[in-house]
Amino acid sequence: MNSAAPRILGIVNITSDSFSDGGRFLAPEAAIAQALKLARDGADIVDLGPASSNPDAAPVSAEEEIARLAPVLDRLLAEGIEVSVDSYRPETQAYALKRGVAWLNDIKGFPDAGLYPAIAEADCGLILMHSVQEGQADRRAAPDGDIMGHVCRFFEARLAALEAAGIARSRIVLDPGMGFFLGAAPETSFSMLARLGELKGRFGLPVLISVSRKSFLRAVTGRGAGEAGAATLAAELIAAVNGADYIRTHEAAPLRDALAVWANVKDIARNR
């Protein structure tokens, strides 16, 4: 169990086709306004995504990603907001490093060794995400065997490569991936939520969980993405109780309030 409250990452999708809010924050002014709102609502970090990871989304070039990010980064960094850039493209990651962002978030787990020297020279945190697909064309593919074994083998290989390149292990946060990153079956994501303690015990590193509005929650509740707030919050609290150190979410305020309630209950139980 995580003794401290998880840090909150607020999601801003600067995209036209994200599954839950595509197009709402594509304009720089809208993205900036949403990022500032998330920060006011309790997000410790704002996670900017310039391209959708939706399996059906159109590809976005690195040049377009950078064009979407630039005006938003200008404002947020000037405001002193802690920013994460969510991109697997090395060119976009290199741009983000030059801008001095606090975090890089890579849904492919930093596979490009060509960027390792630049990452090693930087001091930003790295969100190392697992995906069962690993570049397969069918991004809804299901893994073979035990999901925890698959996730752990992935992290072992990536951590070894990063550490061999001189990238400190202490900079890394592990994200096991949720929803289609673990395959189409909802029970796989629920299993990972239930077994977070195993993952933390195996690697001794902080863990990030991102379940907000995802398909496995919608599958068991019958809700659409815009109606998945209650299911999202329930899953996020389960993640917190099971040891998540970071939670990535579309709505910071409900999660902040729920974590405050949980913290008070923990304090009373601890002091009895």
Catalytic residues: 214, 248
Question: With 0-12 CB in 10 A as exposed, 13-18 as middle and 19+ as buried, what is 30?
Answer: middle
